[in-house]
Amino acid sequence: EEYSLVPSSQILFKVEHTDVPLSYYTGILGMPGITAYGGFFELGSPKKGENVFVSAASGAVGQLVG
C-alpha cells in the first residue's frame, strides 16, 4: 500500500499488563509472536500426528514456531 490511515488513538498506547516482563512485548507478545501463532495455527492448521518443518527457525518468528 502507498498510504495508511491510522487513528491517533492507535498510534501510541500504554502497556497495561504488568503480570509479564515488558521484554515479552518485543518477542512472544509482540509482532513475532502474533505472526508465529497466526501462521502456525490459522494458516498451517496442523493436525495431531502430523510433522511440521520450519524452514527459517533461526529467525525471530521461526524460533517461536519451533
**How far is it, in rounded angstroms, from Cα 20 to Cα 29?**
10
**How far is it, in rounded angstroms, from Cα 58 to Cα 48?**
25
Q: How confident is the model at residue 49 (pLDDT cuts 50, 70, 90)?
A: very high
* Residue of 19, 15, 41, 37 whose CA lies nearest to 28: 37
The per-residue pLDDT for 52 is: 84
The per-residue pLDDT for 60 is: 86
- Please give the tally of structural domains in the chain: 1
| Residue 25 exposed, middle or buried by CB count within 10 Å (0-12, 13-18, 19+) | middle
Print the domain residue range for 49.
Answer: 1-65
Residue 43 has pLDDT above 80, yes or no: yes
The per-residue pLDDT for 8 is: 81
The per-residue pLDDT for 18 is: 73
